Structure 1
Amino acid sequence: MTARAGAMPGRRAARNTLALAAVVLLVALLCALSVAIGTRDVGWDDIAAALAGRAETIGQAASAARLPRTALAFLAGAALGLSGALLQGVTRNPLADPGILGINMGAALAVVVGVAWFSITSAQAYIWAAILGAGLTAVFVYVIGSLGRGGATPLKLALAGAATSVAFASLVIAVVLPRGDIAGGIQSWQVGGVGGATFVRLAPVLPFLATGFAISLLWARKLNALALGDDLAAGLGENVARTRAIAGLGAILLCGATTAVCGPIGFVGLVVPHFCRLLVGTDHRWLLPFSALAGAGLLLASDILGRILARPGELDVGIVTAFVGAPFFIWIVRRQRLREL
């Protein structure tokens, strides 16, 4: 029995390593397809030339223009998938997601207020406004969801987040309506997409995403302790409040920075961690990197699908992920049998 029990972790690690290699290869293939597919399909030679910095033909120019879009879809998907896994670990709530909890919409409202009332224009200002809005919204939703009997139950948090998201969406409309000069740009950004990306536009967000990624991976073991319950985690020497606060900060940096550059994109942080748990289980040391890779893959695939379905135009990724995520959200609610209000 002892030898068999000792062999189990080794077999699980080997299986997870193979699954990780498969996901890496799939994401690499999706990156290549993202560069190749569009209004004008291009060949692998054009992609190789674009990667080498050449843009002598129309195909090579098209490939070069799609490289930053592919990079943004990869980073945004990874950030959203990882932030969803973090929020689910921090709250022990299967419905936790930056979109469902209203965090993305809080970040969006802060950006819209900054643009309309304070005339912010720089990328850094957008990012800081989004992170501030995301943080304040996360605290607000958790406090509201904790009121009443039973504390912060999954359904109460989901309801508080949904109500906050709807209220903030209405406030965004109220702020934008009198400002015809910014209405078009805000409405397009609010759908959530990765079109029009450039490396110059992407650069300011990288330090925030890197910090969020680092916090997430360094706090994996502590999230495993939280999964055992607050009392047991405290008994194991964990500072539960500090662990929650820092892991929550990582999630806020990731979803706030992503919202600033892409707009609010929903459901990635809900769908991806559940899928990854089926692959690698609940150990956050595996779950977090898998969630980042799978989130990148989902957003890349959604962007590719949006280009194919609406040719010669395109559907923004926020629309595609909503079609995928809404039925999944309903299934999760039914599966969990969440009855408490």
Structure 2
Amino acid sequence: MPLSIHHYVTFLSASVFLVLGVSYSLTAWSSLPLNFTHLYAYLFHFDNSSIEQQILSSIRTPRLLTGMLIGANLAVSGILMQGLTRNPLASPSVLGMNSGAACFIALSSIGMHILGDVPSLLAAAFGGVVSGSLVIFLGGFFSARSNPLRLILAGIAINAFLIGITRAAVILADDRAFSVITWLAGSLANISWQEWHALWPSSVLGLLMALYVAKNLNLLALGNDVAVSLGINIGLTRCLACAAIVLLSASSVAVVGPIGFVGLIVPHIARRLVSNNFLLLIPVSALLGSCLIAWADALSRGIAFPAETPVGVITALIGTPFFVFLTIRNKC
């Protein structure tokens, strides 16, 4: 489908908003004052002897890049979930995948025998698969009379159950409780280049898989019968989309903890901007997700400066009323 002027304007506007968010996030709310002169020098005339440029290089840049990639991951996983379930309220946080991933990583971090030697990404992926499968089963996703609200209620129930297990694990491991609690809040405070290098390979793979199934998701939206008549392998499409969702959400949770509602907010904004074409929704959602986390991260540092508020708290403050509004609207 050819791009219209409206689509070009949307991409340009989102890109400008992202550039502003990047600039503000890199320079705002620092104990050592940073400004755009330091940013320009860092980008084009790097001087390792400058303390300001060292801060931008070793602290601000990996934090920003990691946050932007996580925002893209969560937004794209949300649009994939909504496309698969045909449920506008679906997202990794609402359907329990983030909680499952966080729960299994928390159990792994406190030294649980079964998960003690498992890498965090694998523990997160396994937790996301288990919790997501439970929600889909209890929510009757595969039944002939599947109800979107039933799926959401199942997600809320599984979320509450997993959060309870996670809290119990934190209480039992009081020597590691502070670090686990900070991680569970969804904080970017201690991100370094190490986390960035651990995140980007799985993220790129998940995003490429999402783009690969985008065309098939457009056809699935017309109905299973129509998709099959057009030669679409529904089972393979669902498997690839689910694999992309698990990869994107699990890798993000493994690095910074559960950041909620990004996968709910961004897809609805993207649909308002570029309609329901997944070939456009996925890149626009990735761009808007990056924007949201870049600005939320800057805001998280400014609310109680010099202390930091976790980014997960900021997205929850934005996402909770948004979720309530969507629930009421869909019920009506």
Report the TM-score, using the length of structure 2 for normalisation.
0.94
Pick from 232, 238, 248: which aligns with 1:238? Answer: 232
Q: For 2:30 and 2:38, locate their aligned partners in 1 and report how far apart those are by CA, in whole Å.
A: 15
Q: What's the counterpart of residue 313 of structure 1?
A: 307
Amino acid at match of 2:22: C
TM-superposition CA deviations, 1:279-322 (whole Å, max 9, x none): 00000010010000001101111111111221121211100000
Q: What's the counterpart of residue 135 of structure 2?
A: 141
Moved more, 302-311 or 324-333: 302-311
3-state SS, counterpart of residue 4 of structure 2: helix
Q: For 2:113 and 2:192, locate their aligned partners in 1 and report how far apart those are by CA, in whole Å.
A: 25
Pick from 55, 75, 84: which aligns with 1:90? Answer: 84
Q: For 1:238 and 1:173, locate their aligned partners in 2 and report how far apart those are by CA, in whole Å.
A: 44
Q: What's the counterpart of residue 203 of structure 1?
A: 197
Contact map agreement 1:217 1:288 (CA 8 A) in 2: yes
Q: What's the counterpart of residue 3 of structure 1?
A: none
Alpha-carbon deviation of 1:118? 4.0
Q: For 1:78 and 1:198, locate their aligned partners in 2 and report how far apart those are by CA, in whole Å.
A: 18
Question: Structure 2 stretches of 5 or more lacking a match?
Answer: none
Amino acid at match of 1:18: V
Q: For 1:91 and 1:32, locate their aligned partners in 2 and report how far apart those are by CA, in whole Å.
A: 37
Contact map agreement 2:139 2:151 (CA 8 A) in 1: yes
Q: What's the counterpart of residue 328 of structure 2?
A: 334
Distance change >3 Å, CA 293–CA 121, structure 1 → 2:
farther
Pick from 216, 224, 237: which aligns with 2:218? Answer: 224
Alpha-carbon deviation of 1:180? 1.3
Contact map agreement 1:35 1:63 (CA 8 A) in 2: yes
Alpha-carbon deviation of 1:112? 1.1
Contact map agreement 1:127 1:205 (CA 8 A) in 2: no
Matched, 1:296 2:312: no
Q: What's the counterpart of residue 75 of structure 1?
A: 69
TM-superposition CA deviations, 1:177-228 (whole Å, max 9, x none): 1211211111010000211111122212221111100000111101101111
Q: What's the counterpart of residue 171 of structure 1?
A: 165
Q: What's the counterpart of residue 324 of structure 1?
A: 318
Matched, 1:35 2:26: yes
3-state SS, counterpart of residue 195 of structure 1: coil
Distance change >3 Å, CA 177–CA 50, structure 1 → 2:
same
Distance change >3 Å, CA 54–CA 129, structure 1 → 2:
farther
Alpha-carbon deviation of 1:53? 4.5
Q: How many residues align?
A: 328
Q: What's the counterpart of residue 60 of structure 1?
A: 53
Alpha-carbon deviation of 1:149? 6.8
Amino acid at match of 1:27: L
Q: What's the counterpart of residue 150 of structure 2?
A: 156
Alpha-carbon deviation of 1:128? 1.3
Contact map agreement 1:191 1:265 (CA 8 A) in 2: yes
Alpha-carbon deviation of 1:121? 8.2
TM-superposition CA deviations, 1:206-251 (whole Å, max 9, x none): 2111110000011110110111111211121112122112111101
Alpha-carbon deviation of 1:262? 0.8
Q: For 2:90 and 2:278, locate their aligned partners in 1 and report how far apart those are by CA, in whole Å.
A: 16
Matched, 1:22 2:3: no
Alpha-carbon deviation of 1:108? 0.5
Matched, 1:284 2:278: yes
Amino acid at match of 2:96: G
3-state SS, counterpart of residue 308 of structure 2: coil
Q: CA RMSD in A?
A: 1.9
Q: For 2:108 and 2:126, locate their aligned partners in 1 and report how far apart those are by CA, in whole Å.
A: 11
Q: For 1:118 and 1:201, locate their aligned partners in 2 and report how far apart those are by CA, in whole Å.
A: 25
3-state SS, counterpart of residue 34 of structure 2: coil
Amino acid at match of 2:208: A
Alpha-carbon deviation of 1:61? 2.8
Q: For 2:114 and 2:24, locate their aligned partners in 1 and report how far apart those are by CA, in whole Å.
A: 38
Q: What's the counterpart of residue 254 of structure 2?
A: 260
Q: For 1:63 and 1:147, locate their aligned partners in 2 and report how far apart those are by CA, in whole Å.
A: 47
